[in-house]
Amino acid sequence: MSAGVSIGLFCAAFAAGLLNAVAGGGTLITFPALIAAGVPPIIANATSSVSQWPGYLASSITFRRELGGQRALGAMSVASLGGGLAGAVLVTVVSPHLFDALIPWLILLATLMFAGSAHLTRWLGRHAANVGRSGGGLLAGQFLVSVYGGFFGGGMGIMMLALYSLFALDTLLRMNALKIWLSVLISGAAVLTFIAAGLVDWPAALLMLAGTILGGVAGARLAQRLPAQWLKRMVVVLGSVLTVVFFWKNLH
């Protein structure tokens, strides 16, 4: 691995850790960065998950006070672990060709989630009263989001915030703290699965670990006062470009 590639992967990891704490979307940086470095897609997906997990953990520690008294935290944690494990197992059994074909669709889904997140959250907020306080519905939704998170993860944070808004769980700050903690569990289950399956590029993963940790700490400290809208717009633009690039690659 050249010095230029190493620096690029470290910077991508730092930016991903910061984004995951402030607005989400880190996968849309780490995954294509690894692809650009020549890592095969399934290995890049697993390595991206490994590299981002410490950033989630660092951010969650910073938000530990906001986790106090969260509704159904234990049950939500179990649903997240189960879903994350199921999604990661799917990665280990899917064929590389199918995974390659899914990449542009997964990136497109993540990008659309980011682009429409504000409208989605407002719409869900207006209709939250119609949903009720069903614990079963909340857990089922969390499990499904966790399956997606274990499989790919791009846009997972937006999906969780939308789900929590629909069920009117708490304030945005406390919902963000819950999202980050459950991301720790989802990614943790996926990471253990990927390691056991031998899907991790360790030189790249270890290099990016330091970047996501530093970025996660910095992002958590900025999350309460830094407007996230401009970061979200950058992620949407990046995701749109990546969607076109990966669709083009699949056609050729």
Q: What is the 3-state secondary structure (H, E, C) of 157-171?
A: HHHHHHHHHHCCCCC
Gyration radius of the chain's alpha carbons:
17
Tokens of 252: 């050729």
Place 216 in a pLDDT band, splitting at 50, 70 and 90. Answer: confident
For range 51-63, the mean pLDDT: 80
Q: Is the model's pLDDT at 124 over the cut of 70?
A: no
Closest Cα to residue 184, out of 75, 61, 91? 61
Q: What percent of the chain has pLDDT over 70?
A: 82
Q: Euclidean distance between the first and final Cα of the chain, in Å?
A: 27
Q: Is the model's pLDDT at 71 over the cut of 60?
A: yes
Q: Is the model's pLDDT at 155 over the cut of 80?
A: no
pLDDT for residue 118 = 64
Q: Let me know: does 16 contact 214? Beta carbons within 8 Å.
A: no
Q: Give me the residue label for tokens 């074909």.
A: 101
139 Cβ contact list (under 8 Å, min separation 6): 72, 75, 76, 79
Torsion of CA 184, 194, 140, 58, to 10 degrees: 10
Helices (H) and strands (E) in the chain, counts: 11, 0
Q: What percent of the chain has pLDDT over 90?
A: 31
pLDDT for residue 43 = 95
